[in-house]
Amino acid sequence: MEAETGSSMEIGKTANRGTRIALAVFVGGTLVLGIVLFLVSQGFLSLHAKPEYCLKPECIEAAASILSKVNLSVDPCDNFFRFACDGWIHSNPIPEDMPSYGIYPWLRRNVDLKLKALLEKSISRRRDTEAIQKAKILYSSCMNEKAIEKADAKPLLHILRHSPFRWPVLESNIGPEGVWSERKFSLLQTLATFRGQYSNSVFIRLYVSSDDKMSNEHILKLDQAALSLAVREDYLDNSTEAKSYRDALYKFMVDTAVLLGANSSRAEHDMKSVLRLEIKIAEIMIPHENRTSEAMYNKMNISQLSAMIPQFDWLSYIKKVIDVRLYPELKDIGPSENVVVRVPQYFKDLFRILGSERKKTIANYLVWRMVYSRIPNLSRRFQYRWLEFSRVIQGTTTLLPQWDKCVNFIESTLPYVVGKMFVNVHFQEDKKEMMEELIEGVRWAFIDMLEKENEWMDAGTKRKAKEKARAVLAKVGYPEFIMNDTHINEDLKAIKFSESDYFGNVLQTRKYLAQTDFFWLRKAVPKTEWFTNPTTVNAFYSASTNQIRFPAGELQKPFFWGTEYPRSLSYGAIGVIVGHEFTHGFDNNGRKYDKNGNLDPWWSMDSEEKFKEKTKCMINQYSNYYWKKAGLNVKGKRTLGENIADNGGLRQAFRAYRKWINDKRQGVEEPLLPGIEFTNNQLFFMSYAHVRCNSYRPEAAREQIQAGAHSPPQFRVNGAVSNFEEFQKAFNCPSIPQ
């Protein structure tokens, strides 16, 4: 109570003294706070608590992996691709047998080495299924180089002695039974035999696929076929590079004919006509920018097709291609059978050209294309001639190792057999659980962005977009049917391989592949199934089934990091890829398909026009990127779909990652990696860049620009991060308006 008594004078003295103390504390505190803020602004002091570090072996491994890839002397704000990838690129030069090299090819070869080890194991009649035994025999025959050298060109020459494979350029050098006859030549029979028995599509590509507007049903489709060179423009351009490629192709055709017994002067004469014909075909092909889903959906019956292009007996061609002994239910194919003619104008122009061309030139071209496709299966003297050709068009200087070539062949021929072999040993089922987390996180992020950030799409279109996003079906690892040994064995029961007859084995596989897709013609589309090779190092979106697909081959470091590693790495790598594939359902092509996979306009006119207007900015951005190594600018319109997917995928994955931090860690950041001063957000973006580290030879760079659907890797990385404000925040970059 005494404290409450006393005169007013004593109270005043105490108050003045307290004011002076408070003032001193305020001034001193302000000075200290200013110093602290200065130190923080200069990066010398952090306001946060001391960061937590992960010292597990997995984190040390991840830190070492990151340090091996980066170039810390590059400012990430100036060139993030170089900052993230220079170290890896400098330590991993392009192998002499490859046109380009990067993380994807590195992982591809890693998978191939695992397949090599599996295929080289001795056959166990008890343990190996019939299908696996056949795969091992096929691989062994491919590796039997002694037998291949001994056979030399004899297996191919045996084919060329019989109609419809007689090659006019060989004349009588192949023997009297192999002399080509103009009177006996049939374009229809030759095309049908090539497609139906050897899976060689020349001039015409006939195949079975889902009907774009009735996606539950399969239908026959007709399209333009590929050319000898990968890039159509190389037949048309007058650039020095394009001319050198045409010259190299011509020389390769001549030399191959001579190796098979042709007179050199005759070969030079005939192959000039062949090249001229192929240039004419290139001129009439529908370019990529005109191959839109709407333009290529021309559904009609065979009778209507025959009326539109009467120069060719379409019904006879289709019936000759399909082996009704395998599919007796297809005997009823007739004039009323529906087909989708994807390029009507091309076919009109094609038969106009062929109608005025010499039959001998047409026959020379057709058989050249068959011979060209079989060169990889011949002896070394043919391989080395191919290498001279490849040196010009790809820049490679050595052949692939025989084992690598053989693994690739077996994988493409028997994908589900080697797929099962691979996943049994190298795929962990718990990866599916983590992938589900990533996929659902990205799905949430897409819908959340649609609701909160998309201000230009009208409510009706936005509602349907969310419905489609919720309907996207994800497939991870491998199709379940590959584990059904009875099914796979039955599928291959007609094939009998020999370890000493590689060429004969190849012909069997070609016949098998030629007829496989006709199995589906009268069957419904299995919307919940998928048919991707499990060893594929890639991911996919299917518009007709509204599926995203992630095969086992893709789900490995540095794409997929397990639960024992920081989530920032997986969200930045495979998470962005999930977002990329998800976004394909809404890009300039995927957006045309509804949630059920049907080509059906579901956007309002207003939203569609606004979408097209917004894509102009992205087209311009990427078109302004110049690639010195290729000597060309990126084709912003050609690569638009992939650029949209890159930008969308990056944003969705980052949003999903931050939600994971908030939901699973209550907003507390993950422990940092030891020995490197990068935040988790920075690690996310670095992981995104790392899976795209890649370098190219000039020849491959040019092909990537001319024919690739994707922008070159450095522009994929730098383009997407420069458009994303969260990247700029993470690396404290100045804002870049886009």
Active site residues: 581, 646
Q: What is the per-residue DSSP string for 328-352?
A: GGGTT--TT-EEEES-HHHHHHHHH
How many angstroms from the chain centroid is the CA of residue 638? Answer: 15
User: Which residues, other chains included, contact 381 with Cβ-Cβ below 8 Å and sequence gap of 6+?
Assistant: 152, 259
* E strands present in 390-510: 473-477
Q: CA end-to-end span of the chain, whole Å?
A: 71
Q: What angle do CA 139, 140, 144 make, to 5 degrees?
A: 120
Task: Report, in this order, helix, strand and coil percent for the chain, each rounded to 5.
Answer: 60, 5, 35
Q: What is the per-residue DSSP string for 255-271?
A: HHHHHTT--HHHHHHHH
Q: What is the per-residue DSSP string for 470-503?
A: HHPEEEEE--GGGG-HHHHHHHTTT----TT-HH
**166 — phi, psi (to 5°)?**
-60, 135
Is 620 within 8 Å of 636 (Cβ atoms)?
yes
Rounded CA gap, 305 and 335, in Å? 9
Q: At 695, is the secondary structure helix, strand, or coil?
A: strand
Q: What angle do CA 335, 336, 338 make, to 5 degrees?
A: 110
**342 — phi, psi (to 5°)?**
-75, -25
Rounded CA gap, 533 and 488, in Å? 14
Q: At 299, is the secondary structure helix, strand, or coil?
A: strand
Q: Which two tokens stand for residue 104?
A: 């994807």
Rounded CA gap, 40 and 32, in Å? 12
Rounded CA gap, 213 and 296, in Å? 12
Q: Which two tokens stand for residue 184?
A: 């006996």
Q: What is the per-residue DSSP string for 72-109?
A: TTS-TTT-HHHHHHHHHHHHSPPPTT-SEEEHHHHHHH
Rounded CA gap, 713 and 348, in Å? 38
Total Cβ atoms within 10 A of residue 571: 31
Tokens 């925040």, residue located: 729
Please classify residue 188 by burial: count the beta carbons closer than 10 Å to its beta carbon, then call 0-12 exposed, 13-18 middle and 19+ buried: middle
Amino acid making up residue 471? A
Rounded CA gap, 440 and 204, in Å? 42
Rounded CA gap, 650 and 645, in Å? 8
Question: What residue spans of 665-693 are helical by DSSP H?
Answer: 680-690
Q: At 35, is the secondary structure helix, strand, or coil?
A: helix
Please classify residue 729 by burial: count the beta carbons closer than 10 Å to its beta carbon, then call 0-12 exposed, 13-18 middle and 19+ buried: exposed
Is 675 within 8 Å of 54 (Cβ atoms)?
no
Rounded CA gap, 419 and 549, in Å? 15
